[in-house]
Structure 1
Amino acid sequence: MEPKKNPKADLRRNSGLYFVLGLALVMALVYVALEWKTYDEVQDYDISLNVEDQLDEEVPMTEQIKTPPPPPPPAAPEVIEVVEDEEEVEETVIESTETSQEEEVIEVEDVEVDEVDEDIDVPFAVIEDVPIFPGCEGAKDKRACFNEKMQDHIRRNFRYPEIAQEMGIQGRVNVMFTIQTDGSIGNIRYRGPDKNLEAEALRIIEKLPKMTPGKQRGRPVRVPFSIPITFKLQ
């Protein structure tokens, strides 16, 4: 015989209802817990300041500053009487500078004006008589001979500075100087990429010999001249 269960003893019969009721109860408890608010106990305090009626320190009273009265208005100017000038003024007589035919005209001798020799600079490219480099006295083209002798002088006296070689410095130094009226070299100016190269270019120009000065209209003049000196490492 198979045993028969009592339907009242089946625990799973109302399990769904119990689950819903339990879920509703838990949600209610959670809601109450979230909405629960607490307030601090309020105590009545006297927040009024305790100010004594009498002050120990005396408050000084502000003195009233008396401003001086405005100055009185200036007095009205006195009436100025106009007095006629009765003094006679002598008129200045301007004599005429024109000569009449009766006056003798004194002849003035011719005044000799001394010609002033002005020191002027005439560029090498336009001067009539170029400066003569020693050794070019008998040359037909003294200008070309001057340039050739100048290049030969630079080649013979050229010496590359050792410190510039070690540092790998090279470049071109532009040198400008003036051949004076006595044939000497002066007013030397130079500009280059390095002071050592400039010093070597200055040394070369200072070794130039004395020359025959250039002439313009037969008179010695100063002649500016410029030349580049190139320093190039091999």
Structure 2
Amino acid sequence: MEIKKSPKSNLENFSKIFMQIGLVLALFVTYVAIEQKTYDKVYGDLGTVNMNAEMEEEIPITERVEPDQPKTPPPPTPDKIEIVEDKKEIEETVIESTETDETKKVVVSEIVEVKEVEEVVEDVNFMIIEDVPTFPGCSGNNEERKACFSQMVQKHFVRKFNADLPNELGLSPGKKKVFIGFKIDKNGNIVDIQVKAPHPKIKDEVDKVMEQLPKMKPGKQRGKPVGVKYSIPFTLVVE
């Protein structure tokens, strides 16, 4: 059996009426809320407040006292004022012009030629010379020529020196030191031979041997030939 619903009981037919009633109620509530009056709350008597009493402050009055400054007495008045006439003449200083007059002839005095003083380089030690003297037959760089120079001088001494001489002089047996110094001058010659030996005859023999050294290529300092000092010790064995 199918149940039929009465058209009068369907609430959807009254939806418009309900909406209109709701709008009217909302407008009424809004109107009543706007028109409602409010009053300030009244409190009892709180007394009188005096704001000026708090702002007033007693400020003591001070007075600035300036120290007394000593007064300087005025200068004494001269008894008599003398008027002196200024008769001294002032000499004017004439400043001569340094400009050259083109119309006048300029006389040129004799021109003296100044010779350049040649820098004198003193003798230099063999160990610090920039360009070492070269013994004949030596080559290479500066250090190689230094080593070769020392070797060739020692070989020359051993070959030329009379080894039997120390034994013939009656010296005590043992090792004897001989110190030799000389200079290779700017021309490569051996000069200024100095010998310190245990016997005068040994000294003479060493002088003779060192004078027989060959001429060498001179050493240079700053690119110029200079004298080079060289020293070497020798040991003689006396039996």
TM-score, reference length from structure 2 = 0.49
Match of 1:168 in 2: 171
Where do 5+ consecutive residues of structure 2 fail to align? 1-92, 101-105
Q: Residues 39-91 of structure 1, C-alpha deviation per residue, up to 9 Å, x if partnerless? A: xxxxxxxxxxxxxxxxxxxxxxxxxxxxxxxxxxxxxxxxxxxxxxxxxxxxx
Find the aligned partners of 2:214 and 2:145 in 1 and give their Cα distance. Answer: 16
**Corresponding residue number in structure 1 for 2:17:** none
Aligned to 2:27: none
| SS of residue matched to 2:125 | coil
Q: Counterpart of 1:144 in structure 2: which amino acid?
A: A
Residues 1:142 and 2:145 aligned together: yes
Of 200, 223, 226, the match for 1:221 = 226
2:187 to 152, 160, 182: 182
> In the alignment, is the contact (CA less than 8 A) between 1:197 and 1:231 conserved in 2?
no
Map of 2:134 onto structure 1: 132
Alpha-carbon distance, 1:204 to partner: 1.6
Give the structure-1-normalised TM-score. 0.50
**What residue in structure 2 maps to residue 36 of structure 1?**
none
Aligned equivalents of 2:154, 2:133: Cα separation in 1: 15
Deviation of 1:127 (Å)? 0.6
Q: Is the 8 A contact 2:130 2:221 kept in 1?
A: yes
Match of 2:199 in 1: 194
The Cα of 1:135 is off from its aligned counterpart by: 0.5
Determine if contact 1:124/1:223 at 8 Å carries over to the other structure.
yes
Inter-partner Cα distance in structure 2 for 1:207 and 1:163: 20
Q: Which residue number in structure 2 is paired with residue 116 of structure 1?
A: 118
Residues 166 and 102 (structure 1), Cα distance of their counterparts in 2 relative to 1, 3 Å cut:
closer
Gaps of 5+ in 1: 1-95
Q: Output the CA distance in 2 between the equivalents of 1:177 and 1:100.
A: 67
Shift of 1:162: 3.4
2:211 maps to 1:206: yes
**By how many angstroms is 1:165 displaced?**
3.2
Mapped to 2, the partners of 1:189 and 1:167 lie a distance apart of: 24
Report 1:1-234 matches (<5 A).
100=95, 102-104=97-99, 114-138=116-140, 141-162=144-165, 164-169=167-172, 171-234=176-239
Shift of 1:208: 0.6
- 2:129 & 2:210 partners in 1: Cα distance? 21
**Mapped partners of 2:211, 2:232: distance in 1:** 14
Deviation (angstroms), 1:126: 0.7
RMSD over aligned Cα, in angstroms?
A: 3.1
- Mark the CA change 1:100 to 1:209 in structure 2 (over 3 Å): closer, same or farther: farther
Cα-to-partner distance string for 1:9-35 (whole Å, 9 max, x where unaligned): xxxxxxxxxxxxxxxxxxxxxxxxxxx
Contact 1:130 1:214 in 2 (8 A): yes
Give the match's secondary structure for 1:173: strand
Partners of 1:136 and 1:163 in 2: CA distance: 32
User: What SS does the corresponding residue of 2:118 show, helix, strand or coil?
Assistant: coil
Whole-angstrom CA distance in 2 between matches of 1:126 and 1:163? 34
Cα distance in 1 for residues equivalent to 2:208 and 2:139:
26
How much has 1:115 moved relative to structure 2?
3.6
Rg (Cα) greater in structure = 2
In the comparison of the two structures, how many residue pairs are matched? 137
